[in-house]
Every structure is written in C-alpha cells, then in structure tokens.
Amino acid sequence: MAEYASYGLVLFALGAYVVLDGYDLGIGILGLFDRSDERRKEYTELVATAWDANESWIILAAVILWAALPGVYATVLPGVYLPLVVVLLAFVLRGLGLEMQSSAPDYRPGWGRLFGASSLVVTLCQGLVVGTVLGGLPQHGGVFDGGALRWFTPYSVLCALGLTALYLLAGAAWLQAKTQGGARRRAARLGRPLLALAVVACLVLGFGLEVADPQHFRFDEPLRAVLFGLLVAAAAGCGAVAWYGFGREPDARPFVAVLCAQVAGLLALVTATAPVVVPPGLSVHAAASPTGSQVFLLIGVGCCMPVVLAYNIYAWWVFRGKYRPPTLAALAVPAEPVAARTDLTGSQTVAKEAGVGILARRAGFALIGLGVVAVAQDVFGGQGEWIAPVSLVLFSTVSVTAWLVGDRRAADAGEFEIDQAARR
C-alpha cells in the first residue's frame, strides 16, 4: 500500500504544478502576442509574485518519482532526454527574463520576449513529454528500449499543442481575475475562444488516446466507468461555468471553474489508466522501490508538502485582489538624493553597486553553465555522448546572447556612464 500512497503524492504534486504553474506559463505566452508594453509589464509583475512557489511542485514530484518509483525513471527518462534538457534550460532563462523584467522600472522588450519565448518552450516540451508517456514507451525488463527520437510522435505533438491551449486558457482566466482596465477586457475577450480551443484539443486527445495508448482501458469495470463518466461530466460543467463567466463579474469565477475542470480532467485520466503508470504495462507495484524507502519518503515529503502549500497560500493572500500599477508619485525619485549623488563619492558608490551587480550576473551565468554540464555528464553520460556537448553549446549561445544584449541595453540606458564619471 505504501507505493500507492507515494503514487498519490506524485499525482497531487503534478496536479498542483499544472494548476499553479500552468496559469503563469499561459500569461507568459499571452504576453508574446500583446502589443501594449504597459499590459506586458502588468503580466510579469503578476507572475513574479508566486512563480517560484508554483514551480516547487514539479521538484517535489521529481523527487518522489526518483525515490518511490525508480522504474518510471528508468523507463521514461531515456526516452525523453532531449525535451527534458530543453525544459531545464528554458526554466533557467525564463526565471532570468522574469526577474530582470520585474526589477526594471519600465518594460524591457528583450527580457519580456525572453520570458515569453521560454514560457512557450517549457509548455511545448512538457506536452511532448506527457504525450510520449501517454502514448507508451518501448521497454524490456523495466528499461527503455527505443530510439533517441521516440518522443517525437503525432500524438506527442498534439499533446504539446493541447497543453499550450490549456495553459493559455488558465492564463486568460487568471488575468481577468487579477487585472483591471484594458488588461481585464482583453483577457475576457480571449477567454471564450481559448476555451473552445481547449475543449477541441481535449476531445481530440481523449479520442486519440484510444489509438495512441497501447494498453487496454478497462471500462468494463462498473466502478471505473461510472467514476470516469462523473469526472468528465464535472469537467464539462466547469467549462460551461467558465464560458458564462468570461466578461462577467465576479471576475474570479472563470479561473475557479478552469481550475476545477483541470482537476477533474486529471482525475479522469488517472481513473482511465490506473494502476498503469507507463503504458503498455508498467504498473505502480512493478515500478516501486522497497517498502522501507517508501516509508522514509512518505515521512520526508509529507513534512515538506504542507510547508510548500502554506507558502503558496501565503503568497496568494499577500497579493490578493486586483493588480494596481504603482503611481507616478511612488516611482518618482526625490530630488535631494539625486543631488547628493552628483559628488564624486556618490558617483563612486553608485558605480561600485553597478559593478557588483554586473559581476554577480556574470558569475551566475558561469555557475549555471557549469551546473548544466555537470548534470548532463552525470545523468546522461553513458546514454549519449552528444547530449553534454549539445547542452553546453545551447546554453552558452543563449547566455552569451542575453549577456551582450543586456549590456548593450544597460549602456543605452546610461548605466555605464556613472562608472566613467567615477573614473574621471
């Protein structure tokens, strides 16, 4: 029974991730197609309030899978190495773009595009991984037995597009709940088309799963069939509530309805596939670690999950209500401190602070690059010698580009002029 408790924790963590991080990934993608810099700035400020807590759930899910269901790791990871490497790199760049954008006083298009593009890449790669797992992985003796591009199939591509539509819908619902003015009107206008797109995607993926999944769904069992039908009906009802709620008050109704529809859909998927974890036949019991490891993990993760959940609830409580942009008076710099900085001592202080920030940013790039290479060598070494060099080249190219673009924008903004004045 311990393995099923661990399986339940995995499902809870993955569900929390989809529900919580899904909406801020959708907001990032929506920002790519918005022409208003003011609204894009609002989007990043909304996401910056809780994105790190939202992503904690996928870390918990990975830890539980690694310790409690090692058979899943042995089967799934070798089949989805490349999309997972891309996801890790995109997570790093997404956090970089978000934090740099949030710390800027106004909208910076370069960081904004990095944040939006990374959100899209994360979503597409997650969809590819989910589609690959649902479509089944060739395995022999509990070990993956397939090619390096086994993750690229028609069903996995459809899953990537469907997950993008679902995250966009959640993002639009969250924006209606948290914004006002033009951002709220735009989210309400996009809500129903995105809902229709998500429903079509769910129908295509649902009926396509019967063809893509090699396992036999046991709907001949009355309890399973009834529970599946009730969950699908609940998801449909929540979708109808969301359709009615877009553009109407209370503004939080569409997001709550979309959240409940996501939970019902995930539970329906589990009802249809359990106890199989990786099709066609890897079950929870077959993939589980020894009972002692299961009990140790349940105690450790059982203590961590309430802390993460409390942090999520606290962040939501602190930033409850509608987002209100800071007033110009709050953003204005008092005249006296500015005058005080005109002397040589003030210039040297500001230059020193700017120099420390630049060095810290560059040191962070270097450490992240070394970490990516180390992880690639340790985790992927022996499975494909090309993965570590490719990951290093990809990360180096993107990080150097972001580095040069950031320095150029800082120079255009006059940040380096302070350093030159101090040297004179």
Per-residue pLDDT tens over the stretch 173-212? 999 999 888 888 999 999 999 999 999 999 999 888 877 7
Q: Is the pLDDT of residue 220 over 60?
A: yes
**Same domain as 311, residue 164:** yes
Decide which of 344 and 392 is more confident.
392
Specify the pairing of strand 276-278 against strand 139-140: unpaired
* Distant-in-sequence, close-in-space partners of 125: CB < 8 Å, separation ≥ 6: 83, 84, 86, 87, 90, 160
The reply to whether 198 and 117 lie within a common domain is yes
Residue where a domain terminates, one of 310, 326, 342: 326
Top-confidence residue, 357 or 239:
239
For position 327, what pLDDT does the model report? 56
Percentage above 90 pLDDT, the chain = 22
Domain boundary among 326, 346, 381: 326
Identify the helix (H) or strand (E) that includes residue 413.
none
Are 228 and 349 within one domain?
A: no
Mean pLDDT within 45-73: 84
The pair of structure tokens assigned to 394 is 């990809």
The per-residue pLDDT for range 249-266, each reduced to its tens digit, is 888 999 999 999 999 999
> Is the separation of the CB atoms in 230 and 204 below 8 Å?
no
Identify whether the C-beta of residue 134 lies closer than 8 Å to the C-beta of residue 95. no
Residue with the larger pLDDT of the pair 249 and 341: 249
Residue 212 is part of which domain span? 2-326
Q: Which of 48-52, 53-57, 168-172 has the highest mean pLDDT?
A: 168-172
Residue 188 and residue 222 share a domain? yes
Last residue of a domain, one of 326, 361, 393: 326
- What pLDDT was estimated at residue 352? 55
Same domain, 298 and 342: no
* Spatial CA neighbour of 19 closest among 200, 167, 168, 203: 167
More confident residue, 177 or 142: 177
Total domains, the chain: 2
Whether 320 and 402 share a structural domain: no
Q: Are 103 and 361 in contact (CB under 8 A)?
A: no
Interatomic CA distance for residues 71 and 323, integer angstroms? 45
Q: Torsions phi, psi of 121, nearest 5?
A: -65, -45
Same domain, 296 and 340: no
Q: How many CA atoms lie within 13 A of 289 on its CB side?
A: 21
285 and 340 share one domain: no
257 and 340 share a domain? Answer: no
Question: Is residue 283 domain-shared with residue 398, that is, in the same domain?
Answer: no
Q: Which residues have C-beta within 8 Å of that of residue 20, sequence separation ≥ 6? A: 50, 53, 54, 57, 312
> 415 and 282: one domain?
no
pLDDT of residue 423: 43
370-411 pLDDT, tens digit each: 666 665 555 555 555 565 566 667 666 776 777 677 667 666
DSSP codes of every residue in 79-137: GSHHHHHHHHHHHHHHHHHHHHHHHSSS--HHHHHHHHHHHHHHHHHHHHHHHHHHT--
CB 297 within 8 A of CB 64: yes
The helices-and-strands tally (H runs, E runs) of the chain is 17, 4
Cα 34 to chain centroid, rounded: 20
What is the structure's pLDDT at 354?
A: 56
Q: In terms of domains, do 275 and 388 share one?
A: no
More confident residue, 186 or 37: 186
Instruction: Say what the pLDDT of residue 344 is.
Output: 46
Choose between 416 and 144: higher pLDDT: 144
